Amino acid sequence: MTMPPHGIVAVRAHLAKLPPTESVAERRAMYDRAERVFTLPPDTTVEPVTAGGRPAEWIRPAGARGDAALLYLHGGGYVIGSPRSHRHLAEALARSAGIACLLPDYRLAPEHCFPAALEDALTAYRWLLEEKEIAPGRIAVAGDSAGGGLTVATLVAIREARLPSPGAGICISPWTDLTCSAASYRSKAAVDPMVNLPDITAMARDYLGGTDPRTPLASPLFADLRGLPPLLVQVGSEEVLLDDASGLAERARAAGVEVTL
């Protein structure tokens, strides 16, 4: 799963040459083209399902256990991204754990503002409990970037709904503060090829739709994190979202959550 340094350099060089895109539709189409580049192993099955009224994919690597699952929430700033763009990543994580994965196609902004994505994520979790009858302790909720922040918000929403807690949360470069005010948004801007301040603030505005960016379930950095399951938080030292990730880890630890950063 780790990309070698020369690969990172190549990705940065490629991204720097890409022309700017003009519309949300164009950006979504470009993001979804990832499925052409990253193909799945031939022994993996992908089943389209309806999870609580929303389209999703049920991904089963060969040999996956039937009594455990990963709920993966894709990144993309709540504006772009889909199962098509993140199928390979979700499958690789599920394969490494020997379990199946539910990859929901949650609603996106600006058509569907907060809390639409959160509602869909919570519905997907209920589907795993009720339709797949998977024990909550055998479910991990995971996501990257916006999906990483959505992971934390979903864990908080699960607790507030008094649903049984999943076994763990996995946050990859989580976007947890939609005020976009941490120092790393500026200090890492020149070295992060994926995230820039103008784009991410525009995505925050689209997702919030007028909601206060410090609303805990929109920006889970400000949420009450007590009682959450163990968290694995991963982030690179040169990422714009470095402070969002480290701040999450710090606040979760202070709330008594077991955290690995």
pLDDT single digits (tens) 132-170:
999 999 999 999 999 999 999 999 999 999 999 999 999
Q: Is 119 a catalytic residue?
A: no
d(CA 125, CA 177): 23
Look at 6-10, 156-160, 230-234 and tell me which has the smallest mean pLDDT.
6-10
For 98-226, where are the alpha helices, taking DSSP H only? 116-130, 146-160, 184-187, 197-208
Residue 7 has pLDDT above 90, yes or no: no
User: Which pLDDT score, from 0 to 100, does residue 30 have?
Assistant: 86
The catalytically annotated residue of 82, 145, 184, 219 is: 145
pLDDT of residue 36: 78
Give the separation between CA 18 and CA 208, rounded to whole angstroms: 28
Contact 248, 152 (CB under 8 A): yes
Q: How confident is the model at residue 251 (pLDDT cuts 50, 70, 90)?
A: very high
**According to the model, what pLDDT value does residue 1 have?**
46
β-strands 231-234, 168-172: how paired? parallel
Options 85, 184, 219, 239, the catalytic residue: 239
Instruction: Enumerate the domain spans of the chain.
Output: 22-260
The token pair at 28 is 């979504």
Per-residue model confidence as pLDDT tens digits over 108-130: 999 999 999 999 999 999 999 99
Name the β-bridge partners of 141.
Answer: 71, 169
Looking up tokens 């699952």 gives 69
Q: Do β-strands 54-60 and 99-104 pair in parallel, antiparallel, or remain unpaired?
A: antiparallel
Half-sphere exposure for 160 (CA within 13 Å, toward CB)? 14
CB burial of residue 215 (10 Å; 0-12, 13-18, 19+): middle
Q: What percent of the chain has pLDDT over 70?
A: 91
Q: Is 133 among the residues known to form the active site? A: no
CATH number of 22-260: 3.40.50.1820
Instruction: Give the contacts of 260 (CB within 8 A, at least 6 positions apart).
Output: 230, 231, 232, 233
**Is residue 186 within 8 Å of 213, Cβ to Cβ?**
no
60 conformational bin, left if phi > 0, alpha if psi -120 to 50, beta if neither? beta
Model pLDDT, residue 34:
76
